[in-house]
Amino acid sequence: MDQSTAVLERLLGLHPKEIDLSLDRLQRLLDALGNPERSLPPTIHIAGTNGKGSTTAFMRAILEADGKSVHVYTSPHLVRFHERIRLGQPGGGRLVADDVLNAALLRCEYVNDGAQITFFEISTAVALCLFAEHPADVLLLEVGLGGRFDATNVIEKPIVSVITAISLDHERFLGSRLEGIALEKAGILKRGAPAVTSPQDDVVRAVIEAEAEALGAPLAIGGQDWSAFEEHGRLIYQDEGGLLDLPLPRLTGQHQVVNAGTAIAALRAAGVWPGMSATEQGLRTVSWPARLQRLTHGRLFKHAPEGADIWLDGGHNPAAGVAIASAMADLDDRLDRPLYLVCGMLNTKDPIGFFRPFEGLARHVMTIPLISSAAGISAEDLARNAAEAGLDCEPAPSIDAALKRVGQLCGDGPPRILICGSLYLAGDALALNGTPPE
Protein backbone atom coordinates (compact mmCIF):
# COMPACT_ATOMS: atom_id res chain seq x y z
CA MET A 1 0.00 0.00 0.00
CA ASP A 2 1.22 3.52 -0.80
CA GLN A 3 2.34 5.70 2.13
CA SER A 4 -0.05 8.39 0.94
CA THR A 5 -3.16 6.19 1.17
CA ALA A 6 -3.72 6.79 4.89
CA VAL A 7 -3.43 10.57 4.52
CA LEU A 8 -5.79 10.60 1.54
CA GLU A 9 -8.37 8.65 3.53
CA ARG A 10 -8.11 11.14 6.41
CA LEU A 11 -8.55 14.08 4.05
CA LEU A 12 -11.75 12.56 2.67
CA GLY A 13 -13.18 12.92 6.18
CA LEU A 14 -12.80 16.73 6.09
CA HIS A 15 -15.42 17.14 3.35
CA PRO A 16 -18.03 19.73 4.42
CA LYS A 17 -21.64 18.64 4.79
CA GLU A 18 -22.80 21.53 2.60
CA ILE A 19 -21.13 22.59 -0.63
CA ASP A 20 -20.05 26.25 -0.50
CA LEU A 21 -19.78 27.56 -4.06
CA SER A 22 -16.82 29.83 -3.46
CA LEU A 23 -13.05 29.56 -3.35
CA ASP A 24 -12.78 30.94 0.20
CA ARG A 25 -11.84 27.67 1.95
CA LEU A 26 -9.11 26.89 -0.54
CA GLN A 27 -7.80 30.45 -0.62
CA ARG A 28 -7.44 30.46 3.18
CA LEU A 29 -5.36 27.29 2.96
CA LEU A 30 -3.24 28.62 0.10
CA ASP A 31 -2.61 31.85 2.03
CA ALA A 32 -1.38 29.78 4.98
CA LEU A 33 0.83 27.74 2.63
CA GLY A 34 2.53 30.87 1.29
CA ASN A 35 0.43 31.23 -1.87
CA PRO A 36 1.96 28.63 -4.19
CA GLU A 37 -0.62 29.63 -6.83
CA ARG A 38 1.43 32.82 -7.36
CA SER A 39 4.66 30.92 -8.10
CA LEU A 40 3.56 28.55 -10.84
CA PRO A 41 5.20 27.98 -14.23
CA PRO A 42 3.42 29.55 -17.24
CA THR A 43 -0.03 27.98 -16.99
CA ILE A 44 -2.57 26.78 -19.54
CA HIS A 45 -6.00 26.42 -17.92
CA ILE A 46 -8.41 23.90 -19.52
CA ALA A 47 -12.17 23.55 -18.97
CA GLY A 48 -14.92 21.78 -20.91
CA THR A 49 -17.42 18.93 -20.78
CA ASN A 50 -15.81 16.55 -23.26
CA GLY A 51 -12.29 16.48 -24.64
CA LYS A 52 -10.39 18.44 -22.02
CA GLY A 53 -8.29 15.44 -20.96
CA SER A 54 -7.44 14.49 -24.54
CA THR A 55 -6.67 18.12 -25.45
CA THR A 56 -4.38 18.30 -22.43
CA ALA A 57 -2.68 15.07 -23.52
CA PHE A 58 -2.08 16.49 -27.01
CA MET A 59 -0.53 19.67 -25.60
CA ARG A 60 1.72 17.67 -23.30
CA ALA A 61 2.84 15.34 -26.10
CA ILE A 62 3.63 18.21 -28.46
CA LEU A 63 5.54 20.23 -25.85
CA GLU A 64 7.46 17.20 -24.57
CA ALA A 65 8.40 16.30 -28.15
CA ASP A 66 10.19 19.66 -28.20
CA GLY A 67 12.07 18.81 -24.99
CA LYS A 68 9.94 20.96 -22.71
CA SER A 69 9.25 19.95 -19.11
CA VAL A 70 5.50 19.94 -18.51
CA HIS A 71 3.56 19.69 -15.24
CA VAL A 72 0.04 18.29 -15.59
CA TYR A 73 -2.96 18.27 -13.24
CA THR A 74 -5.96 16.15 -14.27
CA SER A 75 -8.88 14.43 -12.60
CA PRO A 76 -10.33 12.07 -11.73
CA HIS A 77 -7.77 9.31 -11.46
CA LEU A 78 -8.47 5.84 -12.83
CA VAL A 79 -6.54 3.53 -10.50
CA ARG A 80 -4.21 5.57 -8.24
CA PHE A 81 -4.44 9.16 -6.98
CA HIS A 82 -0.89 9.77 -8.26
CA GLU A 83 -2.25 9.91 -11.84
CA ARG A 84 -3.68 13.35 -11.08
CA ILE A 85 -0.26 14.97 -10.64
CA ARG A 86 2.46 14.63 -13.28
CA LEU A 87 5.72 16.44 -12.60
CA GLY A 88 7.61 17.60 -15.65
CA GLN A 89 11.24 16.88 -16.33
CA PRO A 90 13.46 16.86 -19.42
CA GLY A 91 12.79 13.75 -21.47
CA GLY A 92 9.19 13.41 -20.29
CA GLY A 93 7.26 13.85 -17.07
CA ARG A 94 6.46 11.20 -14.48
CA LEU A 95 3.56 10.62 -12.13
CA VAL A 96 4.38 12.08 -8.73
CA ALA A 97 6.43 9.69 -6.61
CA ASP A 98 4.66 8.43 -3.52
CA ASP A 99 7.19 9.83 -1.03
CA VAL A 100 6.98 13.27 -2.67
CA LEU A 101 3.18 13.13 -2.69
CA ASN A 102 3.03 11.92 0.91
CA ALA A 103 5.23 14.78 2.15
CA ALA A 104 3.05 17.36 0.38
CA LEU A 105 -0.14 15.76 1.70
CA LEU A 106 1.16 15.78 5.27
CA ARG A 107 2.19 19.42 4.98
CA CYS A 108 -1.22 20.51 3.64
CA GLU A 109 -3.03 18.40 6.23
CA TYR A 110 -0.99 20.01 9.02
CA VAL A 111 -1.50 23.57 7.76
CA ASN A 112 -5.22 22.97 7.18
CA ASP A 113 -5.49 21.93 10.85
CA GLY A 114 -8.72 19.96 10.58
CA ALA A 115 -10.75 22.70 8.86
CA GLN A 116 -13.55 21.58 6.59
CA ILE A 117 -12.45 21.43 2.97
CA THR A 118 -13.45 19.34 -0.03
CA PHE A 119 -11.18 16.54 -1.19
CA PHE A 120 -10.67 18.22 -4.56
CA GLU A 121 -9.80 21.54 -2.92
CA ILE A 122 -7.07 20.09 -0.73
CA SER A 123 -5.89 17.86 -3.60
CA THR A 124 -5.52 21.00 -5.69
CA ALA A 125 -3.60 22.72 -2.89
CA VAL A 126 -1.21 19.76 -2.77
CA ALA A 127 -0.75 19.87 -6.54
CA LEU A 128 -0.14 23.63 -6.59
CA CYS A 129 2.50 23.29 -3.86
CA LEU A 130 4.32 20.63 -5.87
CA PHE A 131 4.07 22.59 -9.12
CA ALA A 132 5.43 25.72 -7.43
CA GLU A 133 8.33 23.82 -5.85
CA HIS A 134 9.44 21.94 -8.99
CA PRO A 135 10.54 24.05 -11.99
CA ALA A 136 8.91 23.39 -15.37
CA ASP A 137 8.43 25.15 -18.68
CA VAL A 138 4.63 24.87 -18.72
CA LEU A 139 1.81 23.77 -16.39
CA LEU A 140 -1.32 22.22 -17.90
CA LEU A 141 -4.05 22.75 -15.32
CA GLU A 142 -7.32 20.93 -15.96
CA VAL A 143 -10.55 22.07 -14.31
CA GLY A 144 -12.27 19.47 -12.16
CA LEU A 145 -15.91 20.56 -12.45
CA GLY A 146 -17.42 23.65 -14.03
CA GLY A 147 -14.90 26.46 -14.01
CA ARG A 148 -15.92 29.65 -12.21
CA PHE A 149 -15.90 28.09 -8.72
CA ASP A 150 -13.55 25.21 -9.48
CA ALA A 151 -10.56 24.92 -7.17
CA THR A 152 -8.15 25.39 -10.07
CA ASN A 153 -9.57 28.87 -10.71
CA VAL A 154 -7.40 30.39 -7.98
CA ILE A 155 -4.69 31.07 -10.55
CA GLU A 156 -4.23 34.72 -11.43
CA LYS A 157 -3.56 34.85 -15.19
CA PRO A 158 -2.91 31.89 -17.49
CA ILE A 159 -0.97 32.21 -20.73
CA VAL A 160 -4.13 30.89 -22.40
CA SER A 161 -7.55 29.68 -21.23
CA VAL A 162 -8.97 26.73 -23.15
CA ILE A 163 -12.61 25.62 -23.32
CA THR A 164 -13.26 22.31 -25.05
CA ALA A 165 -16.65 21.02 -26.24
CA ILE A 166 -19.52 21.87 -23.87
CA SER A 167 -22.63 19.72 -23.47
CA LEU A 168 -24.97 18.63 -20.68
CA ASP A 169 -23.26 16.80 -17.80
CA HIS A 170 -23.08 17.17 -14.02
CA GLU A 171 -26.51 18.84 -14.14
CA ARG A 172 -26.86 18.40 -10.38
CA PHE A 173 -24.09 20.96 -9.86
CA LEU A 174 -24.08 22.99 -13.09
CA GLY A 175 -27.77 23.08 -14.01
CA SER A 176 -29.63 21.68 -16.99
CA ARG A 177 -29.34 24.62 -19.41
CA LEU A 178 -26.44 24.90 -21.84
CA GLU A 179 -26.27 28.66 -21.31
CA GLY A 180 -25.70 28.20 -17.58
CA ILE A 181 -23.10 25.49 -18.08
CA ALA A 182 -21.29 27.63 -20.65
CA LEU A 183 -21.25 30.58 -18.24
CA GLU A 184 -19.65 28.41 -15.55
CA LYS A 185 -16.98 27.13 -17.96
CA ALA A 186 -16.33 30.66 -19.23
CA GLY A 187 -15.61 31.61 -15.63
CA ILE A 188 -11.99 30.56 -16.18
CA LEU A 189 -11.41 33.42 -18.63
CA LYS A 190 -9.17 36.14 -17.22
CA ARG A 191 -8.92 39.81 -18.11
CA GLY A 192 -6.58 40.30 -21.06
CA ALA A 193 -5.50 36.65 -21.24
CA PRO A 194 -5.95 34.95 -24.62
CA ALA A 195 -8.56 32.21 -24.88
CA VAL A 196 -9.31 29.37 -27.28
CA THR A 197 -12.50 27.38 -27.63
CA SER A 198 -13.34 24.21 -29.53
CA PRO A 199 -16.25 24.42 -31.99
CA GLN A 200 -19.42 24.99 -29.94
CA ASP A 201 -23.19 25.17 -30.33
CA ASP A 202 -24.39 28.68 -31.19
CA VAL A 203 -25.84 29.21 -27.70
CA VAL A 204 -22.59 28.20 -26.02
CA ARG A 205 -20.42 30.23 -28.37
CA ALA A 206 -22.48 33.37 -27.73
CA VAL A 207 -22.01 33.04 -23.96
CA ILE A 208 -18.24 32.55 -24.27
CA GLU A 209 -17.91 35.43 -26.74
CA ALA A 210 -19.79 37.79 -24.42
CA GLU A 211 -17.64 36.83 -21.43
CA ALA A 212 -14.42 37.20 -23.42
CA GLU A 213 -15.48 40.61 -24.75
CA ALA A 214 -16.34 41.82 -21.24
CA LEU A 215 -12.88 40.81 -20.03
CA GLY A 216 -10.93 42.02 -23.05
CA ALA A 217 -9.73 38.46 -23.59
CA PRO A 218 -8.72 37.78 -27.22
CA LEU A 219 -10.76 34.72 -28.28
CA ALA A 220 -10.01 32.19 -31.04
CA ILE A 221 -13.15 30.18 -31.85
CA GLY A 222 -13.00 26.73 -33.42
CA GLY A 223 -14.78 26.63 -36.77
CA GLN A 224 -14.44 30.39 -37.11
CA ASP A 225 -10.90 31.55 -36.29
CA TRP A 226 -9.30 28.13 -36.66
CA SER A 227 -10.33 24.75 -38.05
CA ALA A 228 -9.13 21.15 -37.93
CA PHE A 229 -10.42 18.33 -40.11
CA GLU A 230 -9.40 15.07 -41.74
CA GLU A 231 -8.63 15.07 -45.45
CA HIS A 232 -7.08 12.20 -47.41
CA GLY A 233 -5.83 10.53 -44.25
CA ARG A 234 -4.19 13.70 -42.91
CA LEU A 235 -5.08 16.24 -40.22
CA ILE A 236 -5.45 19.67 -41.78
CA TYR A 237 -5.21 22.59 -39.34
CA GLN A 238 -5.77 26.17 -40.48
CA ASP A 239 -5.82 29.58 -38.82
CA GLU A 240 -4.80 33.13 -39.71
CA GLY A 241 -1.18 31.99 -39.55
CA GLY A 242 -1.62 29.52 -42.39
CA LEU A 243 -2.30 25.84 -43.07
CA LEU A 244 -0.62 22.88 -41.37
CA ASP A 245 -0.64 19.45 -43.05
CA LEU A 246 -0.17 16.92 -40.24
CA PRO A 247 -0.46 13.18 -39.55
CA LEU A 248 -3.69 11.94 -38.01
CA PRO A 249 -3.40 11.63 -34.22
CA ARG A 250 -2.67 8.33 -32.56
CA LEU A 251 -5.85 8.66 -30.48
CA THR A 252 -8.85 7.02 -32.16
CA GLY A 253 -11.96 8.88 -33.34
CA GLN A 254 -12.94 11.88 -35.44
CA HIS A 255 -13.48 13.89 -32.26
CA GLN A 256 -9.75 13.57 -31.56
CA VAL A 257 -9.01 15.53 -34.73
CA VAL A 258 -10.90 18.45 -33.18
CA ASN A 259 -9.20 17.94 -29.81
CA ALA A 260 -5.79 17.96 -31.52
CA GLY A 261 -6.78 21.15 -33.34
CA THR A 262 -7.84 22.74 -30.06
CA ALA A 263 -4.45 21.86 -28.57
CA ILE A 264 -2.57 23.39 -31.49
CA ALA A 265 -4.72 26.53 -31.42
CA ALA A 266 -4.11 26.89 -27.68
CA LEU A 267 -0.34 26.50 -27.95
CA ARG A 268 -0.24 29.03 -30.79
CA ALA A 269 -2.40 31.52 -28.87
CA ALA A 270 -0.14 31.14 -25.83
CA GLY A 271 2.99 31.72 -27.88
CA VAL A 272 4.51 28.35 -26.96
CA TRP A 273 3.77 26.31 -30.10
CA PRO A 274 7.07 24.55 -30.89
CA GLY A 275 6.59 24.09 -34.64
CA MET A 276 5.81 21.35 -37.15
CA SER A 277 8.35 18.71 -36.18
CA ALA A 278 7.36 18.53 -32.51
CA THR A 279 3.66 18.69 -33.45
CA GLU A 280 4.01 15.76 -35.85
CA GLN A 281 5.90 13.74 -33.26
CA GLY A 282 3.41 14.61 -30.52
CA LEU A 283 0.42 13.56 -32.62
CA ARG A 284 2.10 10.22 -33.35
CA THR A 285 3.10 9.45 -29.76
CA VAL A 286 0.24 10.91 -27.67
CA SER A 287 -1.49 8.60 -25.22
CA TRP A 288 -4.46 9.09 -22.90
CA PRO A 289 -5.78 6.08 -20.98
CA ALA A 290 -9.46 5.09 -21.05
CA ARG A 291 -10.26 7.25 -24.05
CA LEU A 292 -10.90 4.77 -26.85
CA GLN A 293 -7.95 2.83 -25.52
CA ARG A 294 -7.31 -0.50 -27.20
CA LEU A 295 -6.22 -3.19 -24.76
CA THR A 296 -3.61 -5.50 -26.27
CA HIS A 297 -2.78 -7.75 -23.33
CA GLY A 298 -3.67 -8.39 -19.70
CA ARG A 299 -5.76 -10.53 -17.40
CA LEU A 300 -9.13 -9.59 -18.94
CA PHE A 301 -8.25 -11.56 -22.06
CA LYS A 302 -8.42 -14.78 -20.02
CA HIS A 303 -12.18 -14.24 -19.68
CA ALA A 304 -12.88 -12.85 -23.16
CA PRO A 305 -13.54 -14.98 -26.25
CA GLU A 306 -10.44 -15.90 -28.25
CA GLY A 307 -9.34 -13.19 -30.67
CA ALA A 308 -11.54 -10.51 -29.08
CA ASP A 309 -10.72 -6.89 -29.88
CA ILE A 310 -11.17 -5.07 -26.53
CA TRP A 311 -11.59 -1.30 -26.24
CA LEU A 312 -12.04 0.92 -23.21
CA ASP A 313 -13.61 4.36 -22.88
CA GLY A 314 -14.67 6.33 -19.81
CA GLY A 315 -17.06 8.70 -21.64
CA HIS A 316 -20.40 8.88 -19.85
CA ASN A 317 -22.74 11.50 -21.34
CA PRO A 318 -24.83 11.59 -24.53
CA ALA A 319 -22.26 13.66 -26.46
CA ALA A 320 -19.57 11.14 -25.53
CA GLY A 321 -21.89 8.34 -26.64
CA VAL A 322 -22.18 9.94 -30.09
CA ALA A 323 -18.38 10.30 -30.42
CA ILE A 324 -17.65 6.78 -29.20
CA ALA A 325 -20.33 5.17 -31.37
CA SER A 326 -18.98 7.06 -34.40
CA ALA A 327 -15.48 5.75 -33.69
CA MET A 328 -16.80 2.19 -33.32
CA ALA A 329 -18.65 2.53 -36.64
CA ASP A 330 -15.42 3.69 -38.31
CA LEU A 331 -13.63 0.62 -36.93
CA ASP A 332 -16.45 -1.56 -38.22
CA ASP A 333 -16.01 -0.09 -41.70
CA ARG A 334 -12.35 -1.13 -41.62
CA LEU A 335 -12.81 -4.56 -40.06
CA ASP A 336 -16.33 -5.87 -39.59
CA ARG A 337 -16.79 -7.46 -36.17
CA PRO A 338 -19.91 -7.78 -34.00
CA LEU A 339 -19.87 -5.09 -31.29
CA TYR A 340 -20.72 -5.93 -27.68
CA LEU A 341 -20.87 -3.32 -24.92
CA VAL A 342 -19.91 -3.97 -21.31
CA CYS A 343 -21.33 -0.96 -19.51
CA GLY A 344 -21.57 0.48 -15.99
CA MET A 345 -22.66 4.03 -15.07
CA LEU A 346 -23.15 6.41 -12.18
CA ASN A 347 -26.71 7.17 -11.12
CA THR A 348 -26.21 10.88 -11.93
CA LYS A 349 -25.83 10.23 -15.66
CA ASP A 350 -28.23 9.91 -18.60
CA PRO A 351 -27.86 6.27 -19.65
CA ILE A 352 -30.61 6.30 -22.27
CA GLY A 353 -29.01 9.31 -23.96
CA PHE A 354 -25.63 7.56 -23.85
CA PHE A 355 -26.99 4.30 -25.30
CA ARG A 356 -29.09 5.74 -28.15
CA PRO A 357 -26.20 6.28 -30.61
CA PHE A 358 -25.40 2.55 -30.38
CA GLU A 359 -28.83 1.44 -31.63
CA GLY A 360 -28.30 -0.62 -34.78
CA LEU A 361 -24.54 -0.73 -34.10
CA ALA A 362 -24.14 -2.77 -30.90
CA ARG A 363 -25.35 -6.36 -31.09
CA HIS A 364 -25.77 -6.77 -27.33
CA VAL A 365 -25.15 -4.87 -24.09
CA MET A 366 -23.94 -6.47 -20.86
CA THR A 367 -24.67 -4.14 -17.93
CA ILE A 368 -22.64 -4.45 -14.74
CA PRO A 369 -22.37 -2.74 -11.33
CA LEU A 370 -19.48 -0.41 -10.54
CA ILE A 371 -16.90 -1.81 -8.12
CA SER A 372 -15.27 1.43 -7.00
CA SER A 373 -18.35 3.62 -6.50
CA ALA A 374 -21.44 3.11 -4.38
CA ALA A 375 -23.28 5.60 -6.61
CA GLY A 376 -23.55 3.28 -9.59
CA ILE A 377 -26.78 2.29 -11.33
CA SER A 378 -27.62 -1.34 -10.62
CA ALA A 379 -26.94 -3.75 -13.48
CA GLU A 380 -30.66 -4.55 -13.65
CA ASP A 381 -31.76 -0.91 -13.86
CA LEU A 382 -29.07 -0.12 -16.42
CA ALA A 383 -30.25 -3.06 -18.54
CA ARG A 384 -33.74 -1.58 -18.51
CA ASN A 385 -32.28 1.74 -19.66
CA ALA A 386 -30.44 0.02 -22.51
CA ALA A 387 -33.63 -1.76 -23.55
CA GLU A 388 -35.50 1.56 -23.55
CA ALA A 389 -32.83 2.87 -25.94
CA GLY A 390 -33.61 -0.01 -28.30
CA LEU A 391 -30.70 -2.32 -27.46
CA ASP A 392 -30.65 -6.04 -26.67
CA CYS A 393 -29.23 -6.38 -23.20
CA GLU A 394 -28.85 -8.36 -20.01
CA PRO A 395 -27.23 -7.74 -16.60
CA ALA A 396 -24.11 -9.47 -15.33
CA PRO A 397 -22.45 -9.39 -11.88
CA SER A 398 -18.94 -8.35 -13.00
CA ILE A 399 -16.63 -7.47 -15.88
CA ASP A 400 -15.26 -11.02 -15.93
CA ALA A 401 -18.74 -12.55 -16.04
CA ALA A 402 -19.81 -10.14 -18.79
CA LEU A 403 -16.79 -11.06 -20.92
CA LYS A 404 -17.50 -14.76 -20.47
CA ARG A 405 -21.13 -14.22 -21.46
CA VAL A 406 -20.03 -12.41 -24.63
CA GLY A 407 -18.06 -15.54 -25.47
CA GLN A 408 -21.28 -17.56 -25.22
CA LEU A 409 -23.26 -15.10 -27.33
CA CYS A 410 -20.88 -14.50 -30.24
CA GLY A 411 -20.92 -17.42 -32.61
CA ASP A 412 -19.70 -15.84 -35.83
CA GLY A 413 -16.09 -14.94 -35.22
CA PRO A 414 -14.10 -12.83 -32.76
CA PRO A 415 -16.10 -9.89 -31.38
CA ARG A 416 -15.23 -6.28 -30.74
CA ILE A 417 -15.90 -5.51 -27.06
CA LEU A 418 -16.25 -1.96 -25.73
CA ILE A 419 -16.05 -1.48 -21.95
CA CYS A 420 -17.70 1.89 -21.42
CA GLY A 421 -19.99 4.25 -19.51
CA SER A 422 -17.87 5.46 -16.60
CA LEU A 423 -14.34 6.48 -15.67
CA TYR A 424 -14.88 4.44 -12.50
CA LEU A 425 -15.54 1.37 -14.66
CA ALA A 426 -12.52 2.21 -16.81
CA GLY A 427 -10.36 2.33 -13.69
CA ASP A 428 -11.82 -0.95 -12.46
CA ALA A 429 -11.07 -2.55 -15.84
CA LEU A 430 -7.48 -1.30 -15.97
CA ALA A 431 -6.86 -2.49 -12.41
CA LEU A 432 -8.35 -5.92 -13.13
CA ASN A 433 -6.36 -6.11 -16.35
CA GLY A 434 -3.11 -5.33 -14.53
CA THR A 435 -2.37 -2.35 -16.80
CA PRO A 436 -2.77 0.83 -14.72
CA PRO A 437 -1.81 4.22 -16.22
CA GLU A 438 1.85 5.16 -15.96
pLDDT in tens, 243-266: 999 999 999 999 999 999 999 999
Does the domain at 4-285 match CATH 3.30.360.10? Answer given as no
Exposure string (b/e) for 181-202, b if CB count within 10 Å is 16 or more?
A: bbbbbbbbbbeebbbbbbbbee
Q: Which fold has domain 293-433?
A: Protein-Tyrosine Phosphatase; Chain A (3.90.190)
* Predicted local distance difference test score (pLDDT) of residue 171: 46
Domain ranges in the chain are: 4-285, 293-433
Percent of the chain with pLDDT over 90: 89
pLDDT digits (tens, 9 = 90+) for 14-23: 888 776 778 9
CB atoms within 10 A of CB 92: 15
Task: Pick the more confident residue, 172 or 383.
Answer: 383
Cα distances (Å, whole numbers) of residue 61 to 36, 117, 284, 380, 384: 26, 33, 9, 41, 41
How far is it, in rounded angstroms, from Cα 316 to Cα 420? 8
Please give the mean pLDDT across all residues of the chain. 95
Q: How do residues 321-348 score in pLDDT, each as one tens digit?
A: 999 999 999 998 788 899 999 999 999 9
CB atoms within 10 A of CB 138: 24
Task: Determine the Cα–Cα distance for residues 223 and 180; give it in Å rounded to an integer.
Answer: 22
Q: Which of 125, 136, 53, 62 is nearest to 94 (CA)?
A: 136
* Mean local confidence (pLDDT), 279-290: 98
Which has more confidence, 396 or 90?
396
- Residue 169 pLDDT: 54
Query: pLDDT per residue over 123-139, tens digit each?
Result: 999 999 999 999 999 99
